[in-house]
Amino acid sequence: MMLRKSLFRSGKRRHERGASLLELALLLPILVVLAFGVIDLGRLIHARLVVTNVSREGGSLASRDLQLGSTPGTTLVDMLLASASPFDLSGSQGRIYVTKIKAGMTLADPLPRIDTRLQGGNYNVSSSIGGIVGQVPTGLSSTMYNHLRFEPAPQNAPDITELSVVEVFYHYRPITPLPNFVQNLFPVNGGILIGSRAIF
């Protein structure tokens, strides 16, 4: 009788172990995909915060006419590229545009003009502010454009004398193999283009 009970218990244990292994085999892929998703989502949110902070800080510094040295690493763009750590904006995954626009100040020259344009990084993405230095900028909202325009009457002078626009772009690529399993999850060359624009 004892032998029969011990055989029954050992058979039951083997059956429970087999069921546990089967459950683990079914749930493990789902848990791995969830873990990869959490890792990449966390990195994506972090990258978005870094890009937003770099554009805001750059806009603030550019609006104060920060006079920086001419040695490498001391220009505004170099400082912004370095401040994006751990994300490399200076390589092929990032791009920064700093554009200063001066208001039209006379009746003979009433339109705003691009005064300075700096850029850094090698990612192939265009600035939303069109034009080159000396030209009338495109890409500004009509409200912002009107604030920079010289009006003959009644005010004569524009509301704003200059504007600093800082645009930061980063091509986020996931580090986990999740996109290989889910097609079209990341639409831009296997990643997502994150961009932020600050106007000061």
Quick: pLDDT tens for 30-81. Answer: 898 888 889 988 999 999 999 999 999 999 988 886 555 454 445 889 889 9
On whether residue 13 sits in a domain, the answer given is no
pTM confidence score = 0.80
Q: Evaluate whether residue 9 is within a structural domain.
A: no
Count of other CB atoms within 10 angstroms of residue 25:
9
pLDDT of residue 4 exceeding 60, the answer is no
pLDDT tens digits, one per residue of 140-179: 999 888 888 888 776 667 888 899 999 999 999 888 776 6
The answer as to whether 17 is a domain residue is no
- Domain-located, residue 37: no
What is the residue range of 113's domain?
43-199
Residue 74, CB-side half-sphere exposure with 13 Å CA sphere: 6
Specify if 142 maps to a domain.
yes
Q: The tokens of 120 are what? A: 């850094």
